[in-house]
Amino acid sequence: MTLRALTRRRRSALAIVGALAVVVGVTLGVWRPWAPLTETAPVAASGDALSPAPLVLPENPRVLVFGDSWTYGAAASDPTLGYAYLLADLIEGETIVNGVSGSGYQRPGYAGPAFGERIAALDPELNPDLIVIQGSINDRRQDAASYPAAVNAAWDALRATYPDAPIVVLGPAPHELPVGASTARIDRDLARLAGARGWWYISPVKDEWITPDNYLDLIDVGAGRMHPSDAGHRYLAERVADALERFAGAPVTDADAADPVPAK
C-alpha cells in the first residue's frame, strides 16, 4: 500500500474518531453552550468608591426600571414576565418599565436610540421613588475609551430629570460563560463611575449570579438567543429585590455621600 493511501486511511480514521468524540461528549453532558468563542477575563473589581447612603423608599414605591433587552423582557414567554415587571410584586410597589432591545450607553437599539437620547425623552413628571438603570452588554463592541464619557453624560441627564430620586445601577449580566473581557470591562467601568457618585451598584458579574451550574436553567440558548428564560427573569427579579432590601438596611456612616463631581 502506498504512503498516500495510508495517509488517506489515517485521515478517515481520525475523522471517525473525532465524530464519535463529539457524540460521546454531548451524550455525557460535556457540551457547554456558555463557552464564548473569543475573549475571556476575570470578574470586575469596583475599586475605590464613596459609601452610598442607605436606600430609603416609601411603602409601595414607584420604580423606573430603565435598560436594554433584559429590561424589556426579551425571551420571556411574554415581555410582562420579564424581571423588571416581576420586581413590582417583590417590592410591593409599581415598576415603570423602559427597555429597548439592542440599546446601550453608546449603541442605538432596534426600536430606539442609545441611553442618552432615551433619557432625554423621559417624562419629567414620572416622579419615581427609585430609578434602576440596567445594562448593557450591547456596548461591548463599542469604543472603550469614550465609554465613561457616554455613561456620565447619560447619568447627568438622568439626575437632572429626576433630581430627588435615588439611582441604583444594575450592571450587565453575563449572557455567556466564562465572562467576556469586554463585559468585565463594562462592569468595572460602571462600578467605578457609580462609586464615584456614591450610587449603589449591583454587579451580577462580580456576585456570580449566573454560573455554569445554573446557566442552562436561567438562559434561553435557543430562540431566546442568550436571554433569560421565564425562570431566569424570575431569578433576576429576586436577586434585584434582595439587593434593594440589603441597600435599605445598610448602616449609615460618615462617608455616606451622593452625586459628587463625576469621575472621568
Which triple of cell numbers denotes residue 98?
423602559
Look at residue 252 and tell me whether its pLDDT is greater than 70: no
Q: Is residue 235 included in any domain, yes or no?
A: yes
The pTM for the full model equals 0.79
Q: Is residue 43 included in any domain, yes or no?
A: yes
Look at residue 31 and tell me whether its pLDDT is greater than 80: no
Is residue 101 domain-shared with residue 6, that is, in the same domain? no
Is residue 9 domain-shared with residue 42, that is, in the same domain? no
Q: Is residue 263 included in any domain, yes or no?
A: no
Which 3-state string (H, E, C) describes the chain? CCHHHHHHHHHHHHHHHHHHHHHHHHHCCCCCCCCCCCCCCCCCCCCCCCEECCCCCCCCCEEEEEECHHHHCCCCCCHHHCHHHHHHHHCCCEEEEEECCCCCCCCCCCCCCCHHHHHHCCCCCCCCCEEEEECCHHHCCCCCCCHHHHHHHHHHHHHHHCCCCCEEEECCCCCCCCCCHHHHHHHHHHHHHHHHHCCEEECCCCCCCCCCCCHHHHEECCCCCCEECHHHHHHHHHHHHHHHHHHHCCCCCCCEECCCCCCC
CA-to-CA distance for 261 and 264, rounded, in angstroms?
Answer: 9
Is residue 226 domain-shared with residue 210, that is, in the same domain? yes
Q: What is the pLDDT averaged over residues 151-157?
A: 98
Is residue 10 domain-shared with residue 126, that is, in the same domain? no
Which triple of cell numbers denotes residue 215?
446557566
Q: Which of 53-67, 150-164, 168-182 has the lowest mean pLDDT?
A: 168-182
Q: Is residue 262 included in any domain, yes or no?
A: no
Look at residue 9 and tell me whether its pLDDT is greater than 90: no
CA-to-CA distance for 52 and 258, rounded, in angstroms?
Answer: 7
Domain membership of residue 238 as a residue range: 33-257
> Which pLDDT score is estimated for 126?
96
Is residue 131 domain-shared with residue 11, that is, in the same domain? no
Look at residue 30 and tell me whether its pLDDT is greater than 60: no
Is residue 68 domain-shared with residue 90, that is, in the same domain? yes
8 Å CB contact between 137 and 181: no
Is residue 55 domain-shared with residue 142, that is, in the same domain? yes
The 10s digit of each residue's pLDDT in 116-145 is 999 999 999 999 999 999 999 999 999 999
CA-to-CA distance for 73 and 84, rounded, in angstroms?
Answer: 7
**How many independent structural domains does the chain possess?**
2
Is residue 179 domain-shared with residue 215, that is, in the same domain? yes
pLDDT band, residue 48 (cuts 50/70/90)? low
Q: Is residue 264 included in any domain, yes or no?
A: no
CATH code, domain with 163: 3.40.50.1110
> Which pLDDT score is estimated for 39?
38
The sign one gets for the Cα dihedral 246, 247, 249, 255 is: positive
